Amino acid sequence: MTDFFNQRFGRRSVLAGGAALIALPLLGTRTALAASVADVKKKGTVTIGIQGDNQPWGFVNSSGVQDGYDADVGALFGKELGVKVEFVPLAVANRIPALVTGKVDVLFATMSMTAERAKSIQYSKPYAANDIILAAAKTTKITSAADLAGMSIGVPRSSAQDTAVTKVAPTANILRFDDDAATIQALVSGQVQAVGGNQFYPLRLNAATKPDTYERKLTFFTTYNGAGSRLGEKDWNETLNAFIDKIKSNGDLEKIYQKWMGASVPKFPDSIEGIPYTVQ
């Protein structure tokens, strides 16, 4: 997996992802009008919120183009609708606000499916899986949550790993950053001793420094990612679910999974407590 990752990402791209979020302030200048599926088809463009700094899920590549797993899935979704795709790179904490205010039409933005978030957005069926972990240097002794007491730990603000670290390490000094790139840089620079991240954090850390320097210390849980639409918008929810069913069955999702994850599509749960896949 390390060789697979390094073939795609160099040191510069691993740490420079935060620059992608330069487009974020422009959101405030846009008219926030929630569009229906019919509106989008008539307009000819779907606006998709995506992460801009989280490789390999969503990031802006060296050519300034949105790339990654979610970008490939989002591009297929635009093709399914028969419209052009406009990607809007978003920081973790800005994903839900951008959706609910109508600044983006849908989210393909590494959205871990949680019951708390399901109070604010409508999830689709899951289309990706992601381990939420703690990463640190190999020389840092961490074998259980008890070792985290008093430790400085970095997390992206409002992320699944923020929730996990806050729960299991209540006496740690938790530093919250705007995005994944800033969190990774905090560990590389010695600002924190460990970081809460996803399954690709150790690979990104080692690509940014030296091989075999960082490793996964703890695994908190496996989460599933769903596309996000606004609460009550049945047209978007049904369209997203039909699209996900289609790319699962025709092999398109498998191709994207192999391309970016170096693995086959996992088995997704038929249901997750507290998280409806359809508009209720």
Give the chain's domain count. Answer: 2
pTM, rounded to two decimals:
0.81
Q: Which residue carries 């170096």 as its tokens?
A: 262
User: 69 and 191 share a domain?
Assistant: no
User: 237 and 103 share a domain?
Assistant: yes
User: 112 and 174 share a domain?
Assistant: no
Lowest mean pLDDT among 2-16, 84-98, 112-126: 2-16
User: 212 and 234 share a domain?
Assistant: no
For 207-259, the pLDDT digits (tens) are 999 999 999 999 999 999 999 999 999 999 999 999 999 999 999 999 999 99
Distance CA 143, CA 107 (A): 36
pLDDT at 19 over 70: no
Give the rounded percent of residues in the chain with a pLDDT score beyond 90. 85
User: 22 and 101 share a domain?
Assistant: yes
Examine residue 88 and state whether it is found in any structural domain, yes or no. Answer: yes
For residue 240, report the phi and psi dihedrals to the nearest 5 degrees: -65, -45
User: 121 and 189 share a domain?
Assistant: no
Q: Please tell me the predicted confidence (pLDDT) of residue 176.
A: 98
pLDDT at 3 over 70: no
Distance CA 218, CA 98 (A): 32
Q: Please tell me the predicted confidence (pLDDT) of residue 145.
A: 96
For 136-152, the pLDDT digits (tens) are 999 999 999 999 999 99
Task: Tell me which residue of 211, 243, 208, 249 sits closest to 227, measured CA to CA.
Answer: 243
Give the rounded percent of residues in the chain with a pLDDT score beyond 70. 88
Q: Please tell me the predicted confidence (pLDDT) of residue 4.
A: 56
Q: Give residue 4's identity as a one-letter amino acid code.
A: F
Examine residue 267 and state whether it is found in any structural domain, yes or no. Answer: no
CATH number (domain holding residue 156): 3.40.190.10
Q: Could you give the 3-state DSSP secondary structure of residue 64?
A: coil
For 22-79, the pLDDT digits (tens) are 344 444 434 457 899 999 999 999 999 999 989 999 999 999 999 999 999 999 999 9
Domain assignment of residue 184, given as a range = 131-221
In terms of DSSP H, where are the helices of 134-177? Answer: 160-168
Strands 121-137 and 214-230: antiparallel
